Amino acid sequence: MTEMTKIVKTIANILFPFTMIFGLYVIAHGHLTPGGGFQGGAVVASGCALLLVAYGSRWVFTRIKEKRLATFESMGAIGFITIALLGIFFSMVFFGNFLAGSTLLFGTAPETGSTVADLNTGGVLPLMNFAVGVKVIAGLFVIVLIMAYASSIKEWYQ
Amino acid sequence: MEKRMVAAVLAFTIVAVFFFFSVFFMHPFGEPGQVSMDDRIIQNTQNETGTNNGVTSVVFDYRGFDTLGEATILFSAVAGVIMIFRRVKE
């Protein structure tokens, strides 16, 4: 994928930060608003794909190595399964929500019924949202990046 | 060639008939048949998981195994893409 004109690059420069902010907002507020780790990660990864379309796969590939992204993807998976396994030790259930109702991080219990959203609720759900978000960002971006790189190898040699 | 066309039209007709019948026998909107599980989750999700968002509590807490399977699918997809498109030495 070769780089595109200056118009596309300028529009991508303007849109990229807003895409990042919106995706990270969806990930961080996954336990309060619609969306979560998967959806926000897909938004952020599509913003990175916009960068890839505008600037070309060679420009991106000289700055980000796919092994680093694959490491982030594995770290997200390990964090997710670690939080799930910690539920066995603290609440005797796989995927047990051991932080809900406690006075630790994210431990505030909301009142029943429609209440004002509080970011400090949800137990382990915000942590799981974060882990899945990191995993989906790195996973989708590395898929798009490697496919674009592989399809543009022939163009370079000509 | 003629036989292939006849078979294609026949298959299309059968599938279309099934689709039309499934539309006629669909549930009316807003009237689900079995609501006991929905009511239990809606009433208990704020006490049990401490979350205001019921959908996230189902996805990450009540049905955590499903999310684990999705994460496994994404991991295997990334592993397969990296394996197929890996760099070869010139």
User: Which of A154, A152, A3, A148 has the alpha carbon at shortest distance from A66?
Assistant: A148
pLDDT tens figures, A133-156: 999 999 999 999 888 888 877 665
**What's A121's DSSP letter?**
B
Q: Which of residues 41-60 of A touch B (CB under 8 A)?
A: none
- Cβ pairs bridging A and B (under 8 Å): 110
Q: Which of residues 73-92 of A touch B (CB under 8 A)?
A: 73-74, 77, 80-81, 84
pLDDT tens figures, A99-112: 877 777 787 777 77
Nearest-angstrom CA–CA distance, B70 and A94: 17
Q: Which of residues 35-54 of B touch A (CB under 8 A)?
A: 46-53
Domain ranges of chain B: 2-84
pLDDT tens figures, B30-62: 777 788 888 888 888 888 888 888 888 888 888
By the 10 Å C-beta count (0-12 exposed, 13-18 middle, 19+ buried), B3 is classed as exposed
Give φ, ψ of B33 to 5 degrees: -75, -45
At A93, the pLDDT band (50, 70, 90 cuts) reads confident
Mean pLDDT of the A110-115 span: 78
Instruction: Note the pLDDT of residue A18.
Output: 95
pLDDT tens figures, B55-82: 888 888 888 889 899 999 999 998 998 8
Mean pLDDT of the A55-80 span: 88
Nearest-angstrom CA–CA distance, A101 and A31: 15
Residue A45 scores a pLDDT above 60: yes
Domain ranges of chain A: 6-157
Closest chain A C-alpha to B69 CA, distance in angstroms: 11
User: Are A149 and A49 in contact, with CB atoms under 8 Å apart?
Assistant: no
Do residue B68 and residue A150 have CB atoms under 8 angstroms apart? no
